[in-house]
Amino acid sequence: MIFELFAKRLFPQAFNNDLSELEPKHIFLRKSVNHLGFKFGLTMLLIIIFLGIFGPHIIGISPYEQDLTKRLLPPIWVEGGNWEHIFGTDGNGRDYLARILYGTRISLTIGFGAAFVGMIIGISLGILAGYFGGWVDQLVNYLLTCQLALPGLLLAMTVVFLIGPSITVVILVIGVLHWTLFLVVSRSATQRIRNLDYVLAANAIGASKYQIIFSDIIPNILNQIIVIFTLEVGIAILSEASLSFLGVGIQPPTPSWGLLIAEGREALFFQPWLIILPGIALFLLVVSINMLGDGLRDITDPNSKIEIKSKVEVPISNLKQNINSKK
């Protein structure tokens, strides 16, 4: 409801009754207003990002400040919790809420950063291989086989160990290790599109290879790429968790969700909230990104069947008559 009011306030012209006058961006807006999953995912992701940026300032507690007299305090809803530390404290007496909020920043950065790095590598190689074929395709396939044959985590550990851990290094390493899905999907989609008539037509009207790739191929494989991207964000965050767990990811005392889970494992049976709380945060983030991605795919795909009808009375029947009479 709020979403719809907002959209109508900002773009009143998108909610005309006459559908035939709508521009593509207005159709996009109308479709997104009617897509429940998209609205839910977007709202949740915005909340998480907001908390990541402003959360630590709002609660005003440092995530690094130790107080050994208040170690392993339970959260407020468990017996013995108090309002001073709403989510309790960890093994070193640091406030858990502050650590989770601060960790949001790092997990988001790593998730999106690594998926983005992987996407750039995967799509460029995939499109090159699919569009040009021949020896380019064989070379890329060779690279793919090499990558698939390498044990990812082991390689990541080695590289991080050699270079030395920092957020940038972790992002790059995870990104460089997660491009295979992007490659496979974009390569096969490009191969399919390359032979379609509209690519030939673009060639005939004088478009260069560069223009064909950016205007005809990328927009048409984007739907698949969005889905892979949302998957990869989740995978990247979990990879970071496993790297941190093994001690070569984010270095303590910097809080990241993966690291929090790793540190909490010792107390799994006695203070389970140390794992459950960052686990829930991770779950919410991955779910919201997936829903957002699914929604974006549905909305940007011109073939999708989401109705662009909104609560405003839209005379669809008139439109149909118009189209018929135009024939």
Query: What residues make contact with other proteins under the rule CB under 8 A?
Result: 20-24, 27, 196-198, 200-208, 211, 215-216, 219-220, 222, 302-303, 322, 326-327
Beta carbon nearer to other proteins, 11 or 198: 198
Beta carbon nearer to other proteins, 28 or 40: 28
Q: Shortest distance, CB of residue 24 to other proteins, whole angstroms?
A: 6
The CA distance from 10 to 241, in Å, is 40
For residue 209, the one-letter residue type is: K
Report residue 208: phi and psi, to 5°.
-80, 170
The CA distance from 261 to 90, in Å, is 11
The single-letter DSSP state of residue 284 is H
CA dihedral 139, 189, 222, 140 (to 10 degrees): -10
Q: Shortest distance, CB of residue 293 to other proteins, whole angstroms?
A: 18
Q: Shortest distance, CB of residue 13 to other proteins, whole angstroms?
A: 13
Q: Shortest distance, CB of residue 323 to other proteins, whole angstroms?
A: 8
- Please, which residues have CB within 8 angstroms of residue 173's CB and are 6 or more apart in sequence? 156, 159, 160
What would the DSSP string read from start to end of 147-189? HHHS-HHHHHHHHHHHH---HHHHHHHHHHHS-HHHHHHHHHH
Beta carbon nearer to other proteins, 94 or 297: 297
Beta carbon nearer to other proteins, 63 or 293: 293
Q: Shortest distance, CB of residue 203 to other proteins, whole angstroms?
A: 6
Beta carbon nearer to other proteins, 79 or 197: 197
